[in-house]
Amino acid sequence: MCKNHPRSKSRSRSHRRHDDGLHWRRSRQSCERAAVVATRRNSAQVTFEDVTVALERIVAGLEKKSRILTPPERRRVAYHEIGHALVAASLPGVDPVLKVSIIPRGIGALGYTIQHPTEDRFVLAASELRNRIAVLMGGRAAEVLIFEGDISTGAAGRSSTRDRYRHRNGDAIRHG
């Protein structure tokens, strides 16, 4: 069991900054994974970077070193991910971006944008829900602008994520 258990008050400040909004089981898993990462570095303390690496592995999966992207693919993925980040940075009520990566991961993602919740939120206004959906669509919008409407299959797959988000949060549908 992890010494800095998520339910204990002795958790490191860097871990508390990262685990807002996580279910306690996932928070426990991230704490334990961060301890493993720190141990592999021969460190006695878990750092902010250890927690970041742990959360990336939990949320996005292992790095796929065998999945090599061509330069045009890397360029497209980079524009797609920066589209998410720019929309998130420009809209109010959206969680700030923690990290943008174009390193392929195990979940089939060629890149990802991680947002960090600043607080636990239980009630969202319709405008905040629309802004969150806009962030999901930011990658597609960037591809439309940069590649003159020629979107990739990665951008097309984002609409299913948006639809799941809308259905999971019935308020998004009710607010219209």
User: What are the residue numbers of the active site?
Assistant: 81
CA–CA dist 164, 176 (Å, integer): 15
Q: What is the distance between the alpha carbons of residues 49 and 98, in angstroms, rounded to a whole number?
A: 12
43 to 16, 33, 35, 136, 176: CA distances (angstroms): 19, 14, 9, 37, 50
